[in-house]
Amino acid sequence: MRELTIALVGNPNVGKSTVFNALTGANQHVGNWPGKTVEKRTGVLRPPAARAGEAALSTTPTVTIVDLPGTYSLSAYSLEEEITRSFIVEEHPHLVVDVVDASNLERNLYLTAQILETGAPLIIALNMQDQAEGRGVRVDAERLSRRLGGAPVVSLVARRSEGIETLRKLIFVRLGQLAESASK
């Protein structure tokens, strides 16, 4: 059985804990209060539900998700930033899932830009689509992906569990692709 690790990052209060709970089935406390997660917590990513008549993938790896503290940047000025940064650049997670608040894209993307610079394989989870729409903000996910070096972008409303299954599948697909390109 392969053991893979993915990191969950994002600014404070973008719904990271909600995404974490949805992906792992954990019951971590969710608050409308930035900085809820002060230590990194881990959970096991549940594999996508097999479709009817389809045998469960025998090669499905065990994927550990590490929920890192919310930060605005990767500069090591505070403990949270230091924890998050050293995990990404020194522990080399197989994949980084960056949860981004679609209604505050400009502020959120600074962290994304810094993660891109580290060269870590990235998936962008564009969360809070409902709030963004409420504010009249429409994000072109496909274009965003192209501008961010081809990192896949998934739209979510994590609070209502919308898009979580897509994200879950994408994580497994992406991990598979990365494994394949590594073996070439």
Partner 1 sequence: MSVIAPAQRTQQITIRYPDAIEAEIAQLEAAILENQWLAATYNPRWLAIQLLEGDATLHRKVSDSPGAAPILATLAAGRARLAATYGEDIDVALVNCRYEFVHQVVQDTVEQTHRRHVSKSDRLDRVVTHPVWGIPIFLALMWIVFKVTIDVSAPFLNWIELVMTVPIANWTVAMLSLVGLGETWVASLAVDGVIAGVGGVLTFVPVMLALYLTLAMLEDCGYMARAAVVMDRLMRKIGLQGKSFLPMVVGFGCSVPAIYATRTLENRRDRILTGLLAPFMSCSARLPVYVLFAAIFFPQHAGLAIFAMYLLGIVIAVVVGLALNHTLFKQADESCFIIELPPYRLPVARNVWRQMWDRTASFIHNAWTIILTVSIVLWFLLAIPARGGEGAFAEVPVEDSIFGAVARTIAPVFAPLGFGSWQATGSLMTGFVAKEVVIATLAQVYHVETPAEADAPPPTVIEDARLIVASFVQAAIDTLKSIPLVIGVNLFEAEAAPEPTALMSAIRNDFGATSGGRGTLAGLAFMAFVLLYTPCMTAVAAERHELGTKWMWVSVIGQFAVAWLVALLIFQGGRLFLG
Contact positions vs partner 1 (CB under 8 A)? 2, 4, 11-13, 27, 29-36, 38, 59, 69, 72, 75-80, 82, 89-90, 92, 94, 105-106, 109-110, 112-114, 116-122, 131, 135-140, 143-144, 147-150, 175-176, 178-183
Closer to partner 1 by CB, 32 or 53: give it: 32
Residue 56 identity: A
Residue 142 to residues 10, 69, 84, 152: CA-CA distances in angstroms?
20, 28, 27, 8
Answer whether 18's CB lies under 8 Å from 30's CB. Answer: yes
Closer to partner 1 by CB, 33 or 51: give it: 33
Closer to partner 1 by CB, 42 or 78: give it: 78
Instruction: Give the shortest CB-71-to-partner 1 separation in angstroms.
Output: 10
The residue whose two tokens read 């564009």 is 126
Paired residues of 6 in beta bridges: 65, 95
How long a stretch of residues is the chain?
A: 184
